[in-house]
Amino acid sequence: MKRQQPKQFSLFGKADKGALLFVADSAQLFLSHRLPIALTALKSGYDVHVAAPYHYQSEQFIESYAITFHPLPPIPEKISFFSDFKALFHLRRIFREINPDLVHLIALKPTLYGSIAARMAKVRAVVATITSTRKVQPEPHQGTAGLRLRFIRFLYGIGFSHPNLRVTFQNVADRDVFLNMGLVSRRQITLIRGTGVNMQQYHPFPELSSLPVVMLASRMRWDKGVNEFVQAAKLLSHAGIQARFVLAGGIDPGHPDAIAEEQLENWKKEGVIEWWGENSDMPLVLAQAHIVCLPSYREGLPKVLIEAAACGKPIVTTDVAGSREVVTDGENGLLVPVRDIENLAVALNLLLGNPDLRLAMGQRGRNKVVTEFSIGHVVEKTLGMYDALLG
């Protein structure tokens, strides 16, 4: 029998829709990507909770919005049977303590173990948001990783058999990966393209300097195409192209693709690129760019590209699922093959030499975001899904 909890109250009034628990692998990413959904849920009558690995400043911010924070142990990127099973039972304990009516699981580990824990705790409704399919797809010469892949699929088979579950994907390609593997049925699927962007916060800026700035704004990881960006910058600089090439983002310690700070400092010393480090004021950062570049190897749906387009910036990115959702080649940006340094340099050079083309692509990108990616669309669709599951 489910335990009865007293009615909750918040700054927005009585929480009469029940308890909603977000489970994320990063408190910082919850704040940057999911906070508008959580705040709208509060206003509409949910008692909102967040479970994520402990981060002092993020916990303070989250709880300042009358959202209850529940710290989790650090979630390692790699699959580790022992630590992951500990995480599963930790989640089950939190679920039983909160007794949520609905849990929203975000990213690989939370969806993998949270869906099983939700079944064990008899949670009424579950939303699982898939942000990447990298870990569930086979890679060449996989070796022992094949066993890990079968284990992941086996666990998804258990968790996704929950009778009242929706699985959201950010792009069609990732959706089809799960469908083709038989991990999810069509009736469970909801396509929600990204996390949305505030069109009042992100708006067009005129180009602020005469010397063009080409910017890669991302966490500093190899799989974001940082090396390809640096090498393309070297090609253009050696060819006499006048521009500033900027890396804007912090290092990502603990991630297997993290770039060491020493490497970033060495690139700076070579004098070809600038590394600005981490800055939470993304509208201010993007305002300084003439061109935004993200030569990533894979994406779910990159928030930074949506933000860049909202700011009226032309984009050069790789022709991969997720990035293709934001950029239409030749319309609001240019698509290049993955790991292709020469084509990346050619695309950047085309935009560097054509201010009118940059302006036209930026305007078309802004229009695309207004109609397809505004935060209002995402929040409305997500809250509608919550209400349907609990209806």
In the chain, the DSSP E strands lie at 8-10, 13-15, 18-23, 46-53, 68-72, 102-106, 125-130, 165-169, 189-191, 213-217, 244-248, 273-277, 291-294, 315-318, 333-336
Kindly give, in sequence order, each residue whose CB lies less than 8 Å from that of residue 31, ignoring residues fewer than 6 positions away.
58, 61, 62
Q: What is the pLDDT of residues 133-160, one digit of tens each?
A: 877 766 655 555 577 788 888 889 999 9
Q: What is the pLDDT of residues 230-258, one digit of tens each?
A: 999 999 999 999 999 999 999 988 788 99
The C-alpha angle with vertex 41 and arms to 37 and 43, in degrees rounded to 5, equals 120
Lowest mean pLDDT segment, chosen from 13-22, 150-159, 261-270, 351-360: 13-22
**β-bridge pairing 213-217 and 189-191:** unpaired
How far apart, in whole angstroms, are the C-alpha atoms of residue 79 and residue 142?
14
Strand partners, 110: none
Q: In the chain, what are the domains? A: 8-196+374-390 (3.40.50.2000), 213-372 (3.40.50.2000)
Residue 40: helix, strand or coil by DSSP?
A: helix
Kindly list the strands in the beta sheet with 244-248, ordered across the sheet, starting from the edge strand earlier in the chain: 273-277, 244-248, 213-217, 291-294, 315-318, 333-336
In whole angstroms, what separates CA 167 from the centre of its chain?
16
Helix (H) or strand (E) holding 118: helix 108-120
Inform me whether the pLDDT recorded for 82 exceeds 80. no
Q: What is the pLDDT of residues 175-233, one digit of tens each?
A: 999 999 899 999 999 999 888 898 989 999 888 888 999 999 999 999 999 999 999 99
Question: What DSSP character marks residue 2?
Answer: P
- State the pTM of this model: 0.81
Residue 299 pLDDT: 87
Inform me whether the pLDDT recorded for 7 exceeds 50. no
DSSP alpha helices (H): ranges in 182-330?
226-238, 261-269, 282-287, 303-310, 323-326
